[in-house]
Amino acid sequence: MSDSIRLNKYISESGTCSRREADKLILRGMVTINGEVALVGSKVDFGDIVIFEGNVIKPKKNRIYIAFNKPAGVTCTTDPKDPTNIVDYIGYKERIFPIGRLDKMSEGLIFMTNDGDIVNKILRSGNQHEKEYVVTVDKPITDDFISKMERGVPILKTKTKPCKIERIGKNRFKIILVQGLNRQIRRMCEVFGYTVVKLKRIRIMKIELRDIEPGHWRYLNKDEINEINRLISHSSKTEEASFKE
């Protein structure tokens, strides 16, 4: 490394966490540079020693990108105190973390990586890209329900963006979102008196879940990684979003 880089970027490139999470660690005084407590905005030069929780942090050379089929009951957190955390469930040989989240009882596709940069770019650009879900509710779906859902629903002091819905059964439908509000689909359904019984994400951007069995994962291939990088190449530095359900 010939030039200094921001500490949060340095930490994210080590695979410890995303830049946003790195800033939180720095604010808590949990990171030192050459023995001194670091500040948000600090920079790291060649030869500097960065330590977090007693361990020296070094950027990783190999970037890992995984598509994981999350089962219901697994929590999208890296907190080791949570016995259902997604990191321990996968048990990957290196430290990885999720891009965005699915709530605990939802299932389906989620990306895992050690690349903090791509996490930030995807989350910033999340509101432009499609996420597709299969949803089962507790009673028959009506045309009125579909029409109102597609136009946008008032939740969380805002109105959801227009979305696409396809009925695929008496109580089942597919929905394509371009935003990620907290528990969005569940909250949207609740407005119209429906309760989500099962929710599964089957696609993010152009990456599909396909044949990954629940609880299993596969590496993203080169073409998929290139496509993701192409789609997020104009990611805004100010817009923040997340792949939530």
Query: Any catalytic annotation for residue 103?
Result: yes
Q: Domain coordinates of the chain in residue numbers? A: 5-56, 65-125+210-231, 130-204
5-56 fold: 3.10.290
pLDDT at 127: 61
Dihedral sign, CA of 174, 175, 180, 184? Answer: negative
Q: Do domains 65-125+210-231 and 130-204 have the same CATH topology?
A: yes
What is the residue-level pLDDT of the chain in tens, covering all 245 positions? 346 889 998 998 888 888 888 999 999 999 999 999 999 999 998 789 999 988 899 877 688 999 999 999 999 999 999 999 999 999 999 889 899 899 999 999 999 998 877 877 777 655 678 999 999 999 999 999 999 999 999 999 999 999 999 999 999 999 999 988 999 999 999 999 999 999 999 999 999 999 999 999 999 999 999 998 888 877 644 334 456 66
CA 124 → CA 118, 128, 177, 200, 236, distances in Å? Answer: 10, 9, 16, 23, 6
Question: What pLDDT is stored for residue 58 in this prediction?
Answer: 84
Phi, psi of 81 (to 5 degrees): -75, -20
The label of the residue with tokens 């299932």 reads 107
pLDDT at 243 (0 to 100)? 60
Q: CB–CB of 52/24 below 8 Å?
A: no
> By the 8 A CB rule, do 235 and 117 touch?
no
The label of the residue with tokens 């359900």 reads 245
Entry pTM: 0.77
Instruction: For the domain made up of 65-125+210-231, give the CATH fold.
Output: Alpha-Beta Plaits (3.30.70)
Question: For domain 130-204, which CATH number applies: 1.20.1250.20, 3.40.50.970, 3.40.50.360, 3.30.70.1560?
Answer: 3.30.70.1560
Number of CB atoms found within 10 A of residue 226's CB: 11
Q: What's the start-to-end Cα distance of the chain, in Å?
A: 39
Kindly state the DSSP code that residue 153 receives in the 8-state scheme.
-
C-beta atoms surrounding 233 within 10 Å: 9
**Distance of CA 71 to CAs 85, 152, 229, Å?**
12, 28, 27
Q: What pLDDT score does 237 carry?
A: 42
Q: Which of 48, 82, 88, 103 is catalytic?
A: 103
